[in-house]
């Protein structure tokens, strides 16, 4: 009798596994790769469009980038975070920079965060919270790109303010006067000209700052008297309140500034309250730029250095001023006779010593 030999179970399992692998490989070879898709997930495939991605093989569609993310170009296998300073609302091929007046402090920002009243953001792409309005300024709107200056007769001594404070009464004035942008009630004085209101419109328009009379000094100033920088000195700044016919009727201390008296051409060697035609002040400083008839001057080690005088003038012997140039000398001779020889009398023109020379 002929016997029949059947394959063992293990051999059948191996064969089935090989066949399965072959079938999977054949199917995979025809599948769309990540970043592509087709109606049945098989080739031919097309790239996922911009703003979408696909991380799997054999896909029949692509996934839209979520808000705060983006997928640039076509054929994306994954989405990317926008990063700080940018945002997206979804399905984005690129992120949008946060506009001025807002900030985006998350890597996956879905919309800008607009500045709160009292804050501002002057440039696009801010990554952190908006800046606080400096002292002497304010705003009361959302999304501000700048701050308004406190009006004349108003002040604010704190940062991040939504309004200014009106000056208290001073002397005969129910509301004292102060220069626009004042940072302290101490700048309010007994003088007319304060504005009765200082409000920003709902659209963000700043009020007219009004009658600020700028200090005669040109540099930025600090509000404290102490100045610890080497070679510098704390110098006062004065306000002039205009009286009738444009004449200054009152002056008051406005604030102090830290001045480099060793090199500052307007306060060379010390504080200068009045240029006084370049003469030294009570503090010993000079405004070199105010020295008459000077074309080129500098301040070095606290001393005015005149390098060039105007035409018709010359440097004085002490080199501190420009004085009228001397006239060109002309010499005239009178010829006479004298026993033993001729005598020549030299007559000098005006400005020379009146001496004769005998030969």
Residue 258 has pLDDT above 60, yes or no: yes
Per-residue confidence band for 347, with pLDDT thresholds at 50, 70 and 90: very low
Q: How far is CA 122 from the centre of its chain?
A: 10
- Cα separations (Å) of 276 from 267, 330, 334? 12, 37, 48
Strand pairing partners for 341?
A: 338
Per-residue confidence band for 16, with pLDDT thresholds at 50, 70 and 90: low
Domain with CATH 2.10.50 in the chain: 41-114, 133-210
Class of domain 133-210: mainly beta
Q: Verify cis geometry, omega within 30 degrees of 0, for the bond prior to 212.
A: no
pLDDT top residue among 105 and 339? 105
Q: What does the H/E/C string look like for 234-284?
A: EEEEEEEEECHHHCEEEEEEEEEEEEECCCCCCCECCCCCCCHHHCCCCCC
Q: Is 107 in contact with 81 (CB distance < 8 Å)?
A: yes
pLDDT in tens, 22-51: 555 555 678 999 999 999 999 999 999 999
What value does the mean pLDDT of the chain take? 79
Other Cβ atoms less than 10 A from the Cβ of 95: the count is 23
Long-range contacts of 99-107 (CB under 8 A, 24+ apart): 99/124, 100/124, 100/126, 100/145, 101/130, 101/143, 101/144, 101/145, 102/126, 102/130, 102/143, 103/127, 103/128, 103/129, 103/130, 105/129, 106/68, 107/68, 107/81, 107/82, 107/83
pLDDT of residue 210: 75
- Cα separations (Å) of 18 from 9, 29, 190, 206, 331? 15, 16, 102, 80, 128
pLDDT of residue 329: 43
Residue 90 has pLDDT above 70, yes or no: yes
> pTM for the full model?
0.52
Cα–Cα distance, 58 to 75 (Å, whole number):
14
Residue 273 has pLDDT above 80, yes or no: no
- Residue percentage of the chain with pLDDT more than 90: 46
pLDDT in tens, 180-231: 899 999 999 988 888 989 999 888 889 888 753 333 333 444 444 556 677 7
Q: Is 115 in contact with 102 (CB distance < 8 Å)?
A: yes
pLDDT in tens, 96-147: 999 999 999 999 999 999 999 999 999 999 999 999 999 999 999 999 999 9
DSSP notation for 117-165? TTEE--SS---SPPEEPPTTEE--STT-SS-EEPPTTEE--SSS-SS-E
Residue 275 has pLDDT above 90, yes or no: no
Give the DSSP letter of residue 352.
S
| CATH number of the 41-114 domain | 2.10.50
């Amino acid at each position: 009798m002929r016997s029949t030999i059947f394959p063992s179970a293990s051999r059948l399992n191996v064969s089935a596994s090989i066949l399965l692998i072959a079938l999977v490989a054949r199917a995979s070879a025809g599948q769309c790769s990540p970043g592509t898709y087709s109606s049945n997930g098989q080739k031919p495939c097309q790239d996922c469009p911009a703003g979408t991605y696909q991380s799997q093989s054999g896909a029949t569609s692509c996934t839209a980038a979520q808000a705060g993310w983006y997928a640039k170009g076509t054929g994306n296998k994954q989405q990317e975070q926008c990063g700080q300073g940018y945002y997206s609302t979804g399905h984005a091929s690129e992120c949008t920079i946060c506009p001025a007046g807002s900030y985006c402090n998350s890597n996956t920002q879905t919309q800008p965060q607009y500045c709160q009243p009292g804050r501002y953001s002057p440039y696009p792409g801010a990554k952190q919270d908006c800046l606080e309005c400096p002292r002497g300024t304010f705003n009361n709107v959302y999304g501000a790109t700048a701050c308004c200056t406190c009006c004349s007769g108003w002040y604010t001594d704190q940062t991040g303010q939504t309004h200014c404070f009106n000056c208290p009464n001073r002397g005969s004035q129910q509301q004292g006067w102060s220069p626009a942008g004042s940072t302290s009630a101490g700048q309010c004085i007994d003088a007319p000209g304060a504005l009765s209101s200082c409000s920003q419109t709902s659209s963000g328009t700043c009020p007219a700052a009004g009658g600020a009379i700028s200090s005669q000094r040109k540099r930025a100033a600090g509000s404290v008297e102490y100045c610890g920088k080497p070679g510098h000195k704390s110098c006062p700044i004065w306000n002039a309140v205009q009286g009738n016919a444009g004449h200054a009727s009152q002056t008051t201390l406005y604030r102090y500034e830290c001045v480099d008296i060793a090199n500052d051409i307007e306060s060379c060697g010390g504080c200068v309250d009045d240029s006084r035609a370049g003469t030294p002040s009570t503090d010993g400083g000079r405004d070199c730029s105010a020295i008459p008839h000077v074309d080129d001057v500098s301040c070095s080690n606290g001393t005015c250095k005149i390098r060039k005088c105007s035409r018709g003038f010359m440097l004085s012997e002490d080199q501190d001023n420009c004085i009228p140039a001397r006239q060109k000398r002309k010499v005239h001779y009178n010829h006479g006779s004298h026993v033993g020889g001729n005598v020549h009398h030299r007559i000098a023109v005006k400005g020379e010593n009146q001496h004769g020379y005998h030969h």
